[in-house]
Amino acid sequence: MSETFVLVTGAWHGGWAWRPVAERLRAAGHRVLTPTLPGLHDGDDPTRYRLSDTVDAVVDLIESHDLTDVTLVGHSWGGYVITGAAHRVSSRLRKLVYWSAFVPAAGRSLNDEVPPQYRELFEGQAAASGDNSVALPFEVWQGAFMNDADEPVQRLVHELLVPQPLQYFTETVEPIDPATLGVPVASVLSTEDVALPPGEYGWDRFPQRLGVTPVTVPGSHEGCFTRPDALAEALLKA
């Protein structure tokens, strides 16, 4: 049966990052939309937008295309975006899927959920940027985000990333209550994902918040590039 997927990227990415996975889902007969969110287009002014603008963009996309029975997927920071949108388009959703994604808690921003060294890095970079934005250093990308790729591939993809408005990391959204949302929720975790280090700050906190058992898939935090076949299969299975 054909499904409709709306795939929301994590920080520093645009909809282009989903292309390997989207093409595999389309080849299997599904409709796939991969928006680039406000503030994350090449050349966007990071000071113009709030986190709520990204939520509005996803809601507008779903409503303007009159989409129904949607599987809404969020990756990493995109968990904040799909959570904010889910409240407003729940009647149009088939499922909500968090792939190695933050599941917001009440009053807690992304900066409240990451290790102190990340928070210090993000705030320091934003202060020095002149436009309150964060550029992910290559060394962090190489070692923690795309650790299952060769260096030439790591460098190529890293060059495509855009600065992330810091306010997207410091603002909050209302959390969902899976028991009352009226929409099934699921979690997909990549087994080699160390973008958040295992332990106190690890990704396995977030399926627990949802009360679900995650579907596991091989690959790093950037499995959309390095393991697209496995990730597409996991999204269909979740």
The whole-model pTM stands at 0.97
Of the chain, the percentage scoring pLDDT greater than 90 comes to 99
Q: Is 93 helix (H, G, I), strand (E, B) or coil?
A: strand
Nearest residue to 85 via CA among 33, 107, 93: 93
Nearest residue to 170 via CA among 206, 137, 123, 115: 123
The span from the CA of 119 to the CA of 179, in Å, is 32
- The answer to whether 173 and 53 are in contact (CB under 8 A) is no
C-alpha of 201 from chain center? 17
CATH topology for 4-237 is: Rossmann fold (3.40.50)
Per-residue pLDDT, averaged over 193-215, amounts to: 96
pLDDT tens digits for range 23-38: 999 999 999 999 999 9
How much is the pLDDT for 31? 98
- The answer to whether 48 and 68 are in contact (CB under 8 A) is no
Residue 1 has pLDDT above 80, yes or no: no
What pairs with residue 174 in β-bridges?
A: none
How much is the pLDDT for 38? 98
- The answer to whether 220 and 190 are in contact (CB under 8 A) is yes
In 10 A of CB 30, how many CB atoms?
Answer: 18
**How open is the CA angle 168-135-13, to the nearest 5 degrees?**
65
Of the pLDDT bands very low, low, confident and very high (cuts 50, 70, 90), residue 143 is very high
**Domain range annotation of the chain:** 4-237
How much is the pLDDT for 139? 97
Return the beta strands (E) in the chain as ranges: 4-8, 31-33, 70-76, 93-101, 133-134, 164-165, 185-190, 215-217
**Which residues carry out catalysis?**
76
pLDDT tens digits for range 35-87: 999 999 999 999 999 999 999 999 999 999 999 999 999 999 999 999 999 99
Of the pLDDT bands very low, low, confident and very high (cuts 50, 70, 90), residue 237 is very high
